[in-house]
């Protein structure tokens, strides 16, 4: 089973919203998908060039507007088709690594103050994240985009998980 490049689909997907530059794509992801999908510029630019060669996107060089040069990419009909094909394919669910759990699993070798500290700190970070989710929720609710219902589903997922994680922290902190 070969691994296939999902970055290309993430980029194509973002481009269904509107034509964008590589820089815009990065920013867009930082504002919307950052809790379950991130890309670095070192990935985006080379893959954008590849997508262009494969004619899945077109590029208009907007140097005409008097301001600085920006490469604006737009998804093509072929690109949209390729995206839809991928969307219909079965999803892989690899178990992500969790460093906190690994440390806790070996917790016997550590002082319990240390184990407690790790969980406590995690708890604090989760609470901050939850606030950001609540803010994002407000923003999307007023978004008239047709995509909004789907965005809400992914947000809902994050919230549910966060609450479960917070509950777990509370229980663990009582134990150690």
Q: Which residues bind DNA (CB under 7 A)?
A: 1-7, 21-24, 38-43, 45-46, 48-49, 67-71, 97
What is the smallest separation between the CB atom of 113 and DNA, expressed in angstroms? 28
Look at the block and give the residue holding tokens 């809400």. Answer: 152
**Nearest Cα to 140, choosing from 130, 126, 131, 150?**
150
108 binds its own copies (CB under 8 A): yes
What H or E segment, with its residue span, contains residue 25?
helix 22-31
- Total residue length of the chain: 176
Between residues 62 and 158, which has the closer beta carbon with respect to its own copies?
Answer: 158
Regarding 1 and contact with its own copies (CB under 8 A), the answer is no
Does residue 34 interact with its own copies by CB under 8 A? Answer: yes
User: How many residues at the interface with its own copies, by CB under 8 A?
Assistant: 63
Rounded Cα–Cα distance for residues 108 and 117 (Å): 15
Closest distance to DNA from the beta carbon of 26 (Å):
8
Decide whether 70 or 133 has the Cβ nearer to its own copies: 133
d(CA 35, CA 30): 9
Alpha helices by DSSP H, listed for the chain, are 7-15, 22-31, 41-53, 77-88, 99-105, 112-141, 148-175
The least distance separating its own copies from the CB of residue 62, rounded to whole angstroms, comes to: 25
Question: In sequence order, what are the residues at sequence separation of 6 or more whose Cβ sits closer than 8 angstroms to the Cβ of residue 33?
Answer: 10, 14, 154
Site residues (CB under 8 A) for its own copies?
Answer: 6, 9-10, 13, 16, 32-38, 80, 83-84, 86-88, 90-93, 95-110, 114-115, 118, 121-122, 125, 146-147, 149-151, 153-154, 156-157, 160-161, 163-165, 167-168, 171-172, 175
């Amino acid at each position: 089973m070969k691994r296939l490049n999902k970055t290309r689909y993430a980029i194509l997907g973002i481009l269904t919203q509107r034509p964008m530059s590589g820089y815009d794509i990065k920013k867009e992801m930082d504002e919307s998908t950052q809790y379950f999908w991130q890309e670095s510029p070192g990935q985006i630019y080379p893959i954008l060039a590849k997508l262009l060669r494969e004619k899945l996107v077109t590029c208009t060089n907007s140097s005409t507007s008097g301001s600085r040069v920006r490469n604006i990419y737009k998804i093509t009909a072929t690109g949209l088709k390729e995206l839809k094909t991928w969307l219909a394919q079965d999803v892989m669910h690899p178990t992500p690594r969790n460093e906190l759990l690994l440390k806790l699993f070996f917790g016997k070798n550590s002082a319990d103050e240390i184990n407690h500290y790790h969980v406590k700190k995690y708890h604090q970070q989760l609470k901050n994240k939850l606030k950001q989710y609540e803010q994002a929720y407000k923003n999307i609710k007023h978004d008239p985009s047709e995509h909004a219902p789907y965005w809400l589903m992914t947000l809902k997922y994050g919230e549910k998980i966060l609450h479960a994680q917070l509950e777990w922290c509370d229980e663990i902190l009582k134990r150690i």
